[in-house]
A = this chain, B = another copy of it.
Amino acid sequence: MTEERWFQITYWPLLIASVLFIIAYSLQVIFELSGTAETIARSFVYATWFVFIVDYLVRLWLSSPRGPWFRHHIFDLLVVIIPPLKPLRLLQAFTRVASKRTSQGTALRSRISVYGAGAALILIWVAALAVLDAERGKPGANIETFGDAVWWAFVTITTVGYGDYYPVTAAGRTVAVGLMAGGVAVVGVVTATFASWVLERAAARSSDDDEPATRGQIRAMSKDLTRITNRLSGGPPPEQ
């Protein structure tokens, strides 16, 4: 059983699991479920989480060599920590497609925008849930409603930070740090995408003759040269 095979088999089940995860977590936090309802939701959330950890370990175990696999699947490790990020796989698929025909840089850029925006929105939603779950009812806490939590998440990921709402518990602050890191990454991605667009425009040549010479052109010329050399070796045939 190879890692690829396992990945294909578990792809859709895990994607659905992650969607259910986010739904269950949202219900539990937003509607302040209590008693049996909370028990069910919470246990479901932990169950999904467990599934993701198992899946990651299985894939790490199936992979060979393990070192490179680990390095090339940091995103999957991230998903183990934040399972709701799993749906990003769909977007990730898009970007993977884009990377195949990146000759049109615009296609890649639009893909990255879609991917980045999707990641940012999921991060905001999940961070709002997590922070509300951690803060609500704690002494000195000021994030008490989901609306405020979402507002706080937007203010944080854009690094604006008014300070009208901020976490006070260790758990809430840990979530906030992740969100801030996400914010720095978002700014980075947005800027990088703009930069790529500006540079492409600035480097555009007026005529194709001004574009850099290609290896293909040189190879074609080399063929011509070989033909000439051969003719010389064979001497100029006819007119002898």
Residues of A within 8 A of B (CB): 71, 98-99, 101-103, 105, 108-110, 112, 147, 151, 154-156, 158-164, 166, 170, 173, 176-177, 180-181, 183-222, 224-229, 231-236, 238-240
Report A148 CB to chain B, min CB distance, Å: 9
- Interface contact A102-B211, CB-CB below 8 Å: no
- Interface contact B189-A192, CB-CB below 8 Å: no
* Bound-state Cα–Cα, A142 to B166, Å: 15
Q: A234 — nearest CB in chain B belongs to which residue?
A: B239
- Interface contact B224-A229, CB-CB below 8 Å: yes
Give me the 10 closest cross-chain CB pairs, A-B, nearest first.
Answer: A209-B216, A105-B202, A160-B161, A235-B239, A192-B195, A192-B194, A163-B163, A162-B163, A158-B180, A188-B191
Copy tally for this chain in the complex stands at 4
User: Chain A binding site: helix, strand, loop or mixed by DSSP?
Assistant: helix
- Interface contact B238-A235, CB-CB below 8 Å: yes
- Interface contact B158-A184, CB-CB below 8 Å: yes
Of B105, B180, B206, which is within 8 A of A155 by CB? B180
Report A95 CB to chain B, min CB distance, Å: 9
- Residues in chain B near residue A218, CB distance under 8 A: 213, 217-218, 221
